[in-house]
Amino acid sequence: MPEFDTSHVKNIVLLGHAGSGKTTLAECMLYEAGILTRRGSISERNTTGDYHELEQERGNSIFSKLLHTRWRGYKINIIDTPGYDDFVGEVISALRVADTGVMLLNSVMGVEVGTDIIWDYTERFKTPMIFAVNKLDDDNADFEKTVREAKSHFGNNVVVVQYPRQIGAGFHEIIDVLRMTMYKFKDEGGKPEKLPIPEEEKAKADELHKELIEAIASNDEGLMEKYFDKGELEEDEMKEGLKKAMINHDLFPLFCLSSIRNMGSGRIMGFIDNVCPSANEMPPQTTKAGEKLPCDSSGPACIFIYKTISEPHVGELSYFKVYSGTVKSGMELENESTGITEKINQLFLVEGNKRTNINELVAGDIGATLKLKNTHVNNTLHARGKNYELRPIEFPSPNMTVAIETIKKGEEEKLSQALHQLREEDPTLLVEVSQELRQTLIHCQGDMHLAVAKWKIEHNHKLEIKFVKPRIPYRETIRKMADSSYRHKKQSGGAGQFAEVYMRIEPWYEGMPEPQDITVRGRDVHELSWGGKLVFYNCIVGGAIDARFLPSILKGVMEKMHNGPLTGSYARDIRVCVYDGKMHPVDSNDISFKIAGLQAFRQAFQQADPQILEPIFKVEVLCPDDLTGPVMGDLQSRRAIVEGIDNEGHFQKVIAKVPLSEMDGYSSSLRSITQGRAKFTMKFFAYEPVPFEIQRKLIDDYSKTAKEEFV
């Protein structure tokens, strides 16, 4: 029999901006439950959560960690998450399997950008949420301001359950308006003394108690009737009302905390086991087919993989949540995505970097297993005969791209294997081998995300690498009509080569009229894989060139479209009319007409007012109001066109269109300008002409490289 049944398993995720105290709170919770005999600290680099060497070097969380405690008959699974938006994938995957979120607010800083960003994801998942105002022992703490900002950002559904009697260095008393009790802590924190609320605080406590009751009653008709009848609600009624409202994402209770001094964590844990929902109290999961899957330990086994990590000398460790049934070691489950059967050889409870073997996990619980060779993040494994596929986690698009190279030649295959492993562990990191740019590209969330990838490659895979600026995928086109001809003639003793092609090229646009002064005999429209079109006309009269040679001419044109005349970039949106030429009865062949077509196209292109186009991205920067000026100034130095500023909560959203070539290093620059208080996203918008001076420099730079290649 499992130690805990489904209704006694609670899954929480600790959320918040970097530095809000999540890892320290997790340490308190483990200590309060007796899992730890001594609390670790960030400064001493000995917390259970931040065990990774890289996290200890940097002093902040980088990866989500699974921990657990036992508290008053309940098992509480805790997922500690990083606060920097570069690691948002870790946050989203944790939110996917958690049943309650605990959002920490730094009472010195108030609601920060990172908090707002995370909140968007909690809204998407409709995760029940608790707020905890932390660092109330700091001399610069401001509880009232933090609460005002929380209500402003997240709505009046944020309801105060606790408030501090004093803040700053003297913080040691918390007044609880749900239990109408004051908790008084010793200097070292821990278990508080429960006292009556002092006379001078009663009016404030009564007012907040009434606000809490009204908020709870307003979300439940039955409780509203009881409140009208009695003018009060019992504590148990309030707890039940709070649970329903939290499940519906209608109320968000707010607590007080000093995680560094271990004041308030026990009360939060008590609220989690008393009020927060278990997995079987949450709405059932919906499969891709629209079928409801109740969280029932007696149902068919079904697990969802939310995270994978690779451990040296061990292999891949897959983290999962049991959404139905009971999973036992030795059980065989079918992967719905691949159809492959996987054997669950071992089951683990996880405590940071420590694993404990167990025999089974019930629905609602979270655990890990080793060596699922054909199973990845977002896969559903289920009992044979079922076709459950749970909805996948949707990860955000990358914001930053760099090219990666090995320092030593001949290690490209090892690099490929390392990048494959990184991708398995981190779905927000994308790897692309670009034929166009002739580079291997890493698409990631920001410079910190990139630094972690570099560390893993160098330390885990023993590869020396470097990041270089990615080439820009320019496009080339023309702005006017031009005619050209080219004769290819080559004699080498035997059969020679001969072809002559007359060609007209024009800028192509949708709906343009057919050629007027030449006879059209055939027309092919080619949708280009890189965008735009090539429209190719056969305008040959009198049999000047056999129709069998036209595909070779087209092949030559297309080859030059792949390697544009100006910078070697792809060309687009051009109409080509082949209207005359000559051939030889013996020496003309496909290769001759391919060369003639390529050279005629190249010459005409140079005469047709050629234009280089650059990719423009729409960039949105979310930042505090006082940083809008510096953010705009930096964008304008990057040739940005600022389109406007919108209000988003307490933040300003600067919207601009910026050339991709100017976005190199933007993640680092923005973090430096705003001290990490801003966030940006970027999406491709359009191709637009580059300024004349830049075009001339690009052509000059390419001509030097091209000459070197031909030497």
| Stretch 589-599: mean pLDDT | 96
Residue 371: how many other CB atoms lie within 10 Å: 15
Report the pLDDT value the prediction gives residue 709, as an integer from 0 to 100. Answer: 38
pLDDT 10s digits, 278-323: 999 999 999 998 999 999 999 999 999 999 998 777 778 999 999 9
Whether 120 is covered by a domain: the verdict is yes
Instruction: Inform me whether the pLDDT recorded for 35 exceeds 90.
Output: no
**Do 449 and 484 share a structural domain?**
no
Whether 388 is covered by a domain: the verdict is no
Instruction: Inform me whether the pLDDT recorded for 583 exceeds 70.
Output: yes
Q: Which residue has the tokens 């060309």?
A: 571
| Stretch 676-705: mean pLDDT | 92
pLDDT 10s digits, 123-165: 889 999 999 999 999 999 999 999 999 998 898 999 999 999 9
Give the domain range for residue 154: 6-281
Alpha helices per DSSP H over 337-468: 412-425, 447-460
**Do 336 and 255 share a structural domain?**
no
> Number of structural domains, the chain?
5
CATH number assigned to the domain comprising residue 309: 2.40.30.10
**Do 629 and 551 share a structural domain?**
no
What gap in Å lies between CA 307 and CA 92, rounded to an integer?
10
Whether 391 is covered by a domain: the verdict is no
Instruction: Inform me whether the pLDDT recorded for 694 exceeds 60.
Output: yes
pLDDT 10s digits, 625-651: 889 999 999 999 999 999 999 988 778
Alpha helices per DSSP H over 218-308: 221-230, 235-247, 265-274
pLDDT 10s digits, 318-376: 999 999 999 999 999 999 999 999 999 999 998 888 889 999 999 999 999 998 989 99
- Give the Å distances, CA to CA, from 531 to 126, 154, 400, 436: 39, 42, 22, 13
pLDDT 10s digits, 38-53: 888 888 888 888 888 8
What gap in Å lies between CA 634 and CA 650, rounded to an integer?
21
CA dihedral 398, 400, 406, 411 (to 10 degrees): 10
**Do 84 and 201 share a structural domain?**
yes
Report the pLDDT value the prediction gives residue 383, as an integer from 0 to 100. Answer: 95
CATH number assigned to the domain comprising residue 108: 3.40.50.300
**Do 651 and 574 share a structural domain?**
no
Question: Which one-letter amino acid corresponds to residue 606?
Answer: Q
Report the pLDDT value the prediction gives residue 321, as an integer from 0 to 100. Answer: 98
CATH number assigned to the domain comprising residue 679: 3.30.70.240
Centroid of chain to Cα 123: 16
Q: Which residue has the tokens 């059932």?
A: 284
Among residues 584, 608, 632, the one where a domain terminates is 608
Report the pLDDT value the prediction gives residue 301, as an integer from 0 to 100. Answer: 96
Instruction: Inform me whether the pLDDT recorded for 265 exceeds 80.
Output: yes
pLDDT 10s digits, 187-241: 888 899 999 999 999 999 999 999 999 999 988 888 888 888 888 888 899 999 9
User: Which of 270 and 706 is assigned the larger pLDDT?
Assistant: 270
Report the pLDDT value the prediction gives residue 369, as an integer from 0 to 100. Answer: 95
**Do 447 and 359 share a structural domain?**
no
**Do 65 and 160 share a structural domain?**
yes
Report the pLDDT value the prediction gives residue 37, as an integer from 0 to 100. Answer: 83
Report the pLDDT value the prediction gives residue 708, as an integer from 0 to 100. Answer: 42
Q: What percent of the chain has pLDDT over 70?
A: 98
CATH number assigned to the domain comprising residue 545: 3.30.230.10
pLDDT 10s digits, 464-518: 999 999 999 999 999 999 999 999 998 776 678 999 999 999 999 999 999 988 9
**Do 298 and 177 share a structural domain?**
no
**Do 139 and 208 share a structural domain?**
yes
Q: How many CA atoms lie within 13 A of 462 on its CB side?
A: 1
CB under 8 Å, gap of 24 or more: what pairs does 647-650 form?
648/116, 648/622, 649/111, 649/116, 649/152, 649/153, 650/111, 650/149, 650/152, 650/153, 650/624, 650/625
Among residues 437, 468, 499, the one where a domain terminates is 468
* Cross-strand pairs, 656: 619, 642
What gap in Å lies between CA 78 and CA 10, rounded to an integer?
9
Whether 645 is covered by a domain: the verdict is yes
Question: Which one-letter amino acid corresponds to residue 136?
Answer: L
Report the pLDDT value the prediction gives residue 348, as an integer from 0 to 100. Answer: 93
Angle between helices 235-247 and 199-217 (to 10 degrees): 50
Q: What integer best gives the mean pLDDT of the chain? A: 92
pLDDT 10s digits, 514-558: 998 899 999 999 999 999 999 999 999 888 999 999 999 999 999
Report the pLDDT value the prediction gives residue 711, as an integer from 0 to 100. Answer: 28
Report the pLDDT value the prediction gives residue 1, as an integer from 0 to 100. Answer: 56
Question: Which one-letter amino acid corresponds to residue 594?
Answer: K
**Do 444 and 483 share a structural domain?**
no
Three-class DSSP category at 5: coil
Whether 580 is covered by a domain: the verdict is yes
Which among 615, 614, 613, 612 is positioned nearest to 684, based on CA atoms?
Answer: 615
pLDDT-derived band at 26 (thresholds 50, 70, 90) equals very high
Report the pLDDT value the prediction gives residue 477, as an integer from 0 to 100. Answer: 97
**Do 453 and 339 share a structural domain?**
no
What gap in Å lies between CA 705 and CA 699, rounded to an integer?
10
Whether 346 is covered by a domain: the verdict is yes
Among residues 608, 625, 653, the one where a domain terminates is 608
**Do 303 and 268 share a structural domain?**
no
DSSP annotation of 128 reads -
- Give the Å distances, CA to CA, from 710 to 436, 476, 519: 20, 22, 39
Whether 162 is covered by a domain: the verdict is yes
Report the pLDDT value the prediction gives residue 710, as an integer from 0 to 100. Answer: 34
Report the pLDDT value the prediction gives residue 60, as an integer from 0 to 100. Answer: 85
Whether 658 is covered by a domain: the verdict is yes
